[in-house]
Amino acid sequence: MSKTKPDPLQHLMRRRVADAEIGQEPASDYDTLLSDYKELQRMVQEQTALINTLQRESGADPLTGLANHRTLAAELERSLATARRYGRRHALILLNVADFATLSTQLGEDATDALLRHLSSLIRQNIRPTDIAAHPRFGEFAIILNELRAVENATMRAEELCTIASQTPCMVGGRSLHAIVNYGLCVFTQDDEADSVMSRARQSLATVQTSTPNA
C-alpha cells in the first residue's frame, strides 16, 4: 500500500496549532521555510561527510576515483611480495604537475579539480589492466607497472604517459588548459623495500628537466 505524500500546507497548519496550544507565537511562513532549509542543509552536510568517509575507507581518492595513498602503499607492498616470490621486475612511475601550487592558485579550485580529473582519466585510459594508478596527493600521480619484460619498457611507458598528459588539453569553461607534466621512475626487484622504491622514484622526478608541451 502506497503512502500518501504529506501536504506542506497541512504540515504548516498543524505546526501553528501546536505552537498556539503551548502559548508560543506561530512561526511565520518565512521562519518555517528557513528552519526547514537549515535542517535540510544539516542533513546534506552529514551525508557528504559520510560519503567522504566511505570513499576513504574504500581506498579510493574522492576527487579522481584512482587509488589513494593508503591503497598505493598496499599495492606497492603486494608488487614487492610478487617480486620476492617469483623474481620478477616491476616499476613505479611518478607523474608530477610542474609548479602545481602556483598553477592551482592561478586556476582556482574548480578548474584545478577539473584538471586533476582530466589527467586521472588520461592515465586510466593509457595503462594496462594489471597496472595500478593512484592519486596520492594533489598534483601527483603514481603508476605501478607490474610484470616488466624489459627495463626499457618502463622508460618508454613513463615517457608516453608524460607526453599524453602534457599535450592533451583540458577544456574548462571554454578555456583550453595545458599542464606541464614530468615523470620520475624506479624499477624494483626482490631486493628492494617500499620506502626505498618511493624515495628513488622521487629522486628521479627531482632530476627530470621540465619541458614545455606543444600548443
Q: What is the pLDDT of residue 162?
A: 93
Q: What is the pLDDT of residues 108-165, one digit of tens each?
A: 999 999 999 999 999 999 999 889 999 998 899 999 999 888 888 999 999 999 999 9
Residue with cell 582530466: 118
Long-range contacts, 99-104 (Cβ 8 Å, 24+): 99/180, 100/138, 100/139, 100/140, 101/139, 103/179, 104/138, 104/139
Query: 57 pLDDT band (50/70/90 cuts)?
Result: low
Mean pLDDT over 159-175 rounds to 91
- State which amino acid sits at residue 18: A
Q: What is the pLDDT of residue 197?
A: 96
Q: What is the pLDDT of residue 48?
A: 64
On whether the CB atoms of residues 80 and 187 are closer than 8 A, the answer is no
Which residues, 6 or more positions from 70, have their beta carbon under 8 angstroms from its beta carbon?
A: 59
Q: What is the pLDDT of residue 40?
A: 64
Average pLDDT, the chain: 82
Query: How many percent of the chain have pLDDT more than 70?
Result: 73
Q: What is the pLDDT of residues 14-37, one digit of tens each?
A: 666 666 565 655 556 667 677 767
- State which amino acid sits at residue 23: G
Query: Would the pLDDT of 212 be above 50?
Result: no
User: Domains of the chain by range and CATH?
Assistant: 9-58 (no CATH), 69-207 (3.30.70.270)
Mean pLDDT over 57-85 rounds to 89
- Pairwise CA distance, residues 60 & 189, whole Å: 27
Residue with cell 594508478: 133
- Pairwise CA distance, residues 109 & 80, whole Å: 36
Q: What is the pLDDT of residue 4?
A: 53
Query: 53 pLDDT band (50/70/90 cuts)?
Result: low
Q: Specify the higher pLDDT residue, 134 or 56.
A: 134
